[in-house]
Chains A and B, each alone.
Chain A
Amino acid sequence: MTGEPTRSPKATFLALTLNSKRNMIMKQIFSISTFLGIVVFLSSCSLDEEPISNIVQGGSDTTGSYKYYTREEMLSQYEGIYNILKGNNGLENWNLDMLVFTETHADNAYRGATDAELTQLEQQKQNGINKNIERDWNGYFAIVSAANRVICNIDAVPDPALTQAERKQWKAEALILRSMIMFDMVRLWGGIPLILTEPPAITSENIEEVYPQYYPPRNTMEEVYAQIIADLNTALEPGGAPPIDPSDKFVFSQTVANALLAKVYAEQPVRDYGKTVEYCQKVEADASLVPVYADLFAVNDAKTDVKLRNSSESIFEIPFSDGGNWNTWMFGVDETDPNSKYDWAKWLTPSRDLMAAYSSAGDNVRKKITVVTASVSWSNHYPSNSYLFMHKFPSKYNSIIKIRLADILLLKAEAYVNLGNLAEAANAVNIVRARVNLPDLSSSVTSSATSMADAVLNERRLELAFEGQRWFDLVRNGKAFDVLNTLNSRDEGRLPMDPVTEFTILLPLPQSQIDINPNMVQNPGY
Chain B
Amino acid sequence: MKRKILPVLKRGILSAILASILSFGLLAQPVKVTGTVKDAANVPLIGVTVVEKGTTNGTMTDADGQFTLTVPDKQILQISMIGFRTQEIEVNGTAPINIVLAEELTAIDEVVVVGYGTVKRKDITTSVSTVSTKDLTERPMISAAAAIQGKAAGVTVIQPNGEPGAEMVVRVRGNTSINASNDPLYVVDGVPMTDINFLSSNDIESIQILKDASSAAIYGSRASNGVVLITTKNGIKGKTRITLNASLGFTDVVKQMSSLNVNQYKDLMDELGAATIPDGLTDKTNWFDETYRRGSAQNYQLSFTGASDKTSYYVSGGYIKEVGVINIAYYKRYNLRANIENQIKDWLKISTNVAYSNYSNNGIISGQGSNRAGVILSVINTPTYAPIWDTDHPGQYYNNFYGAQVTSPAENMSRTADNVNANNRLIGTFGADAKILPSLKFNSTISLDRLYTHETSFLDPIKTAYGRSQYGYATDNRTLGTVIVFDNILTFDKKLGEHSFNVVGGSSWTQSHWSQIYMGTSHFWDGTVKTLNAGNKVEQYSGTTASEWDIMSFIGRVAYNYQSKYLFTANFRADGSSKLAPGHKWGYFPSFSAAWRISAEPFMQGISSIHDLKLRAGWGQTGNQAGIGDYQHYELSDYSRINWWETGQSNALPTITPITMENVDLTWETTTTSNIGIDLGLLKGRIAFTVDAYYKYTTNLLMDIPLPSTARVSHLVRNEGEMSNKGIEFTVDSRNIEREFKWQTNFNMSFNRNKVEKFTLQQVYYYGKTSEATSENVIRMTPGKPLSQYWGYISEGVDPETGNLIYKDINDDGKVNLSDKTWIGDPNPDFIYGMTNTFTYKGLSLNIFIQGSQGNDIYNASRMETEGMYDAKNQSTRVLDRWRRPGQVTYMPKASSAKDNLLASTRFVEDGSYLRIKTLTLSYNINSRLLKKWGFTNVQPYFTAQNLLTFTNYKGFDPEVNQYGNSALEQGIDWGTYPQSKSYIFGFNVEF
A residues engaging B (CB < 8 A)?
1, 3-4, 6, 9, 12, 23, 26-28, 30-31, 34-35, 38, 41-42, 45-60, 64, 66, 72-73, 76-77, 79-80, 83, 114-117, 119, 127-129, 131, 137-138, 141-142, 144-146, 148-149, 193, 195, 198-199, 201-204, 207, 211, 214-216, 321-322, 324, 339, 343-345, 376-380, 384, 511-513, 515-518, 520, 526
Contacts and interface: CB of A to CB of B under 8 A. Distances in A.
A60 B633 CA distance: 10
A4 B640 CA distance: 80
A51 B708 contact: no
Contacts of B708: 141, 214-216, 513, 516-517, 520
A57 B552 CA distance: 27
A26 B348 CA distance: 11
Given A79-B655, A202-B718, 18 more contacts: A1-B3, A23-B345, A49-B549, A49-B550, A51-B634, A60-B664, A79-B642, A79-B652, A119-B899, A137-B709, A204-B665, A322-B646, A339-B468, A343-B465, A377-B400, A379-B276, A516-B706, A516-B764
22 contacts: A27-B348, A38-B444, A41-B486, A42-B507, A45-B550, A50-B631, A57-B658, A58-B662, A60-B581, A79-B655, A83-B655, A114-B274, A116-B774, A129-B818, A137-B709, A142-B709, A145-B711, A193-B710, A203-B664, A214-B707, A216-B710, A344-B405
A145 B659 CA distance: 12
Contacts of B577: 47
Given A34-B444, A379-B276, A51 B631 contact: yes
The 5 closest A-B pairs by CB, nearest first: A378-B403, A53-B545, A138-B709, A141-B709, A51-B631
Nearest to B404: A378
Contacts of B118: none
A499 to B, nearest CB: 14
A129 B776 contact: yes
Contact of A47 (B3, B578, B652): B578
A56 B664 CA distance: 13
A114 B871 contact: yes
A31 B442 contact: yes
Given A51-B636, A114-B897, A198 B712 contact: yes
B646 A131 contact: no
Contacts of B761: 202, 211, 214-215
A518 B545 CA distance: 38
B757 interface: no
Interface in B46-66: none
Nearest to B554: A42
B843 interface: no
A56 B507 contact: no
B6 A518 contact: no
Contact of B818 (A127, A146, A202, A324): A127
B8 interface: no
Interface of B: 2-3, 6, 10, 274-276, 345-348, 400, 402-403, 405, 434-436, 442, 444, 465, 468, 486, 488, 507, 509, 511, 544-550, 552, 576-578, 581-582, 585, 630-631, 634-638, 640, 642-643, 645-647, 652-659, 661-665, 706-712, 714, 716, 718, 760-766, 772-777, 817-818, 870-871, 897-899
Contacts of B585: 47
Contacts of A379: 276, 403
A320 B124 CA distance: 71
Contacts of B403: 344-345, 376-380
Contacts of A80: 655-657
Contacts of A66: 635, 658, 712
Contacts of A512: 766, 777
B509 A42 contact: yes
Nearest to A129: B776
Given A64-B662, A214-B707, A324-B643, A57 B546 contact: no
Contacts of B276: 378-379, 384
Contacts of A377: 400, 402-403
A55 B709 contact: no
A55 B576 contact: no
Nearest to A79: B655
Nearest to A73: B656
Contact of B635 (A79, A195, A201, A203): A201
Contacts of A26: 345
Contacts of A56: 631, 634-637
A40 B451 CA distance: 29
Given A23-B345, A193-B710, A512-B766, A49 B817 contact: no
Nearest to A3: B3
A76 B656 contact: yes
Nearest to A80: B655
Contacts of A34: 442, 444, 488
Given A66-B635, A119-B898, A59 B656 contact: no
A179 B773 CA distance: 35
B436 A28 contact: yes
B547 A516 contact: no
A80 to B, nearest CB: 5
A77 B640 CA distance: 11
Nearest to B775: A131
Contact of B546 (A53, A198, A324): A53
A76 B710 contact: no
Contacts of A119: 897-899
Contacts of B486: 38, 41
Contacts of B631: 49-51, 54, 56
Given A45-B550, A49-B631, A516-B762, A322 B776 contact: no
Contacts of A79: 642, 652, 655
Contacts of A138: 709, 714
Nearest to A145: B712
A127 B434 contact: no
Contacts of A128: 818
Contacts of B818: 127-129, 511
Nearest to A309: B647
Contact of B661 (A72, A202, A380): A202
B902 to A, nearest CB: 9
Contacts of A50: 631
Given A45-B550, A79-B655, A54 B638 contact: yes
A203 B581 CA distance: 11
Contacts of B656: 55, 73, 76-77, 80
